């Protein structure tokens, strides 16, 4: 059974860096791509970026300068790092397999 | 970026009645492979999104055939033949042809 689970700090201070981890089970990262998507409270969905099965990445140009996605295939983990956080980055952050399956999400609040 | 325009914003339907949601893209979603990467997702209250349909009309595993997807190029439709209580939530279309991937703003399905 495919499962994805996000983890990370619930609160981040403005201007700091957000680090999130997506731990997957039931699938191999070397044959599946994983995206990060976020959803501000009460709002719609924004695709942030993807790490492909070959390890290559693509990012949303709107946040590309602040975003980095990487992985550790031996630990079945995908990482998101985003710097210079502002209050508008407050959102639920999801990881999702491109061919279906989303994590439960992790709420991140940017506040001092 | 490709703009995905969903209509209606909300939909009130009685149990057992049909429902239809439209999604129009600002440019053709036919990729260089000839495939059209248009997905439909459902986000039930308090849950993460779940993919229902991919490649315009292919149902994900476990999705009842009450759901169907159709369309081509820039014009797509999700139909539910007979709405059930479990179908309530917000429906999103998602294009995966052009970077960045983009979502529609969502259609909230409520019970009449």
User: Per-residue pLDDT tens for B50-65?
Assistant: 999 999 999 999 999 9
For chain A (length 112 residues), average pLDDT per consecutive 10? Answer: 95 97 96 97 96 97 96 97 97 94 97 94
Chain A's closest residue to B60, CA to CA, is A100
Residue B110 structure tokens: 């409520």
Cβ of residue A94 closer than 8 Å to a chain B Cβ: yes
Q: What is the full DSSP assignment across B70-97?
A: EEETTEEEEEESS--GGG-EEEEEEE-S
Identify whether the C-beta of residue B94 lies closer than 8 Å to the C-beta of residue B103: yes
- Residue of A47, A59, A97, A105 to mutate, testing the B interface (most B Cβ within 10 Å of its Cβ): A47
pLDDT at position A98:
86
Strands B89-95 and B75-80: unpaired
Distance from the A108 Cα atom to the nearest Cα atom in chain B, whole angstroms: 15
- Number of inter-chain CB pairs under 8 A, A vs B: 44
Rounded distance, CA A22 to CA A17, Å? 17
Q: 3-class DSSP state for residue B98?
A: coil
pLDDT at position B108:
98
- Gyration radius (Cα) of chain B, Å: 13
pLDDT at B87 over 90: yes
CA dihedral of B21, A37, B88, A27, whole degrees rounded to 10: 110
Chain B residues near any Cβ of chain A (below 8 Å):
1, 47-51, 54, 60, 92, 94, 96, 99-106
Burial state string for A63-90 with b = 16 or more CB within 10 A and e = fewer than 16: beebbebebeeeebbbbbebeebeeebb
- Residue of A26, A40, A45 to mutate, testing the B interface (most B Cβ within 10 Å of its Cβ): A45
Residue A26 exposed, middle or buried by CB count within 10 Å (0-12, 13-18, 19+): exposed
pLDDT at position A73:
97
Chain B residue numbers touching A102 (CB-CB < 8 A): 48-51
User: Per-residue pLDDT tens for B16-52?
Assistant: 999 999 999 999 999 999 999 999 999 999 999 999 9
Rounded distance, CA B103 to CA A57, Å? 19
Distance from the A72 Cα atom to the nearest Cα atom in chain B, whole angstroms: 24
pLDDT at B13 over 90: yes
Identify whether the C-beta of residue B25 lies closer than 8 Å to the C-beta of residue B3: yes
């Amino acid at each position: 059974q495919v499962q994805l689970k996000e983890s990370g700090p619930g609160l981040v201070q403005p201007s700091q860096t957000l680090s999130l981890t997506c731990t997957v089970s039931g699938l191999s990262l070397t044959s599946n791509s994983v995206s990060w998507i976020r959803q501000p409270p009460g709002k719609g969905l924004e695709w942030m970026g993807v790490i492909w099965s070959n390890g290559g990445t693509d990012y949303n140009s709107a946040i590309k300068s602040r975003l980095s996605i990487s992985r550790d295939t031996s630990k079945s983990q995908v990482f998101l790092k985003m710097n210079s956080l502002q209050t508008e980055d407050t959102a639920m952050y999801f990881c999702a397999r491109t061919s279906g399956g989303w994590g439960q999400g992790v709420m991140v609040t940017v506040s001092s | 970026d490709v703009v995905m325009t969903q209509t209606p914003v909300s939909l009130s339907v009685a149990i057992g009645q049909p429902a239809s949601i439209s999604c129009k893209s600002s440019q053709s979603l036919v990729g260089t492979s000839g495939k059209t990467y248009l997905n439909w997702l459902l986000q039930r209250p308090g849950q993460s999104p779940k993919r229902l349909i991919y490649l315009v009309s292919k149902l994900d595993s476990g999705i009842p055939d009450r759901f169907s997807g159709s369309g081509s190029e820039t014009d797509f439709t999700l139909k539910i033949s007979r709405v059930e209580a479990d179908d309530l939530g917000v429906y999103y279309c998602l294009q995966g042809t052009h970077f960045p991937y983009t979502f529609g703003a969502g259609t909230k399905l409520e019970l009449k």
